[in-house]
């Protein structure tokens, strides 16, 4: 069989084509649906899992936890509010940071490892 013969060979038996020779409309949408499905499972689903894990960690913060912030500040939580936490970083030195700025516990791996992507 020659290359020209391969191009004439029907690859899919999806039914009779419309009278004008164009493929049915739903066949044209299949590649887009596949791309959307791949995008969802490779990008969106892992991102949702990561966000859920971080939200659970930040919701469980309590006074006395030794944490590190995303900017690299080590401290002990002295007070927790809805939006922020107070960290004692040295004797008589406390700072207030947003809950989202807490990356993990001291001496442990980050809650969500950095993937290196921006």
- Give the residue-averaged pLDDT of 62-89: 94
In a domain, 95, yes or no: yes
* pLDDT for residue 73 is more than 50: yes
Contacts with 16 (C-beta within 8 Å, 6 or more apart), sequence order: none
Q: Count how many domains the chain has.
A: 2
First CA to last CA distance, the chain: 50
> Of residues 8 and 62, which shows the higher confidence score?
62
In a domain, 94, yes or no: yes
Asked if 52 and 44 count as a contact pair (C-beta separation under 8 A), the reply is no
CB atoms within 10 A of CB 55: 13
- The pLDDT assigned to 107 comes to 84
Residue 73 region, left (φ>0) first, then alpha (ψ -120 to 50), else beta? beta
On whether both 43 and 74 belong to a single domain, the answer is no
pLDDT, tens only, 10-65:
555 555 555 566 777 888 899 999 999 999 999 999 999 999 998 999 999 999 99
Contacts with 83 (C-beta within 8 Å, 6 or more apart), sequence order: 98, 99
* pLDDT for residue 118 is more than 50: no
| pLDDT band with cut points at 50, 70 and 90 for residue 3 | low
Domain that holds residue 88: 62-108
In a domain, 3, yes or no: no
- The pLDDT assigned to 41 comes to 92
> Of residues 108 and 114, which shows the higher confidence score?
108
């Amino acid at each position: 069989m020659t290359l020209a013969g391969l191009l004439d060979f029907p690859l899919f038996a999806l039914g009779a084509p419309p009278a004008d020779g164009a493929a049915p409309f739903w066949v044209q949408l299949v590649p887009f649906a596949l791309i959307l499905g791949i995008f969802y499972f490779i990008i969106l689903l892992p991102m949702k899992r990561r966000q859920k894990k971080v939200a659970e960690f930040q919701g469980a913060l309590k006074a006395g936890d030794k944490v590190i912030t995303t900017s690299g500040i080590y401290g002990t939580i002295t007070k927790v509010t809805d939006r922020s936490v107070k960290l004692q970083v040295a004797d008589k030195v406390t700072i207030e940071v947003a809950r989202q700025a807490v990356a993990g516990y001291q001496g442990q791996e980050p809650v969500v490892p950095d993937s290196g992507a921006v």
